[in-house]
Amino acid sequence: METTLHQQLKRRYAQDDDSTEVVLGKYRIDAIRDDELIEVQCASLSAIRDKCRNLLKRHQLRVVKPVVMRTRIAKAKKPGGPVTSRRLSPKRGNLLELFDELIYFTRVFPHPNLVIEVPLIEIEQLRLPGKKRKRRWHKDFKVADVRLETIQRSLELRTPADLLSLLNIPPTVENFNTADLATIIDRPRWHAQQIAYVLRKTGAIDSQGRDRSGIIYQRAA
């Protein structure tokens, strides 16, 4: 079921009300603006990977992949019922979560016809009571809908260098391994390894050999 968030983003990027859900060959395109096709993907990028690869053969494509930075939780007792409470979730999003999805997109990005736009958004998540008995290892709710509250800012990714710029690696750092990268971005090493994989597969960094601490990387020329 399409969320309100997906609908809001489609309308935001379309050139007019008639430019959403446009049929193009065997595909349904979320939105069109001028000569650019727009795919809004709130779920995993893996779901549209093959679709994007085929569309890029002949079209300019913008993939809109939002990252949730802040969530307001709204609760209701039944579908269509009034909201009984609202609160801000203590969890905050991180732009680097984008790399969790780009793992599935390294055979699509970069491409001369492709732009990945990353809106950093704040949302409201509507929750209803779950059907199962509450246990520590089960959620006691189901998400009925997600709605856009605001867009903090948007980033555009066109080249491998754009990916590298998200990490804010100091220019004085010429060579690094994933332990170094984990320290720079203040994330666990497993996440730094994941990010390094994406950077290497997209051509943003090159491996320069290995030492006892692991593979040594540097920015691609």
Q: Give the tens place of pLDDT for each residue, 32-76.
A: 999 999 999 999 999 999 999 999 999 999 999 999 999 999 999
Mean pLDDT of the chain: 94
Confidence at 137, pLDDT banded by 50, 70, 90: low
Q: Give the residue from 185, 169, 166, 165 showing the smallest Cα distance to 217.
A: 169
Find the length of the chain: 221
Integer Cα distance of 195 and 79 in angstroms: 40
Integer Cα distance of 56 and 142 in angstroms: 36
**25 CB contacts (<8 Å, ≥6 apart)?**
none
Q: Give the tens place of pLDDT for each residue, 86-112.
A: 999 999 999 999 999 999 999 999 999
Amino acid in position 198: V
- At residue 17, the pLDDT reads 84
Where in the chain do CATH 1.10.10.10 domains reside? 160-221
**Strand runs labelled E in 130-213:** 141-157, 175-176, 205-211
Q: Is the pTM of this model over 0.85?
A: yes
Q: Give the residue from 67, 122, 126 showing the smallest Cα distance to 97.
A: 67
Instruction: Write the CATH number of the domain with boundaries 160-221.
Output: 1.10.10.10
% of the chain with per-residue pLDDT over 90: 89
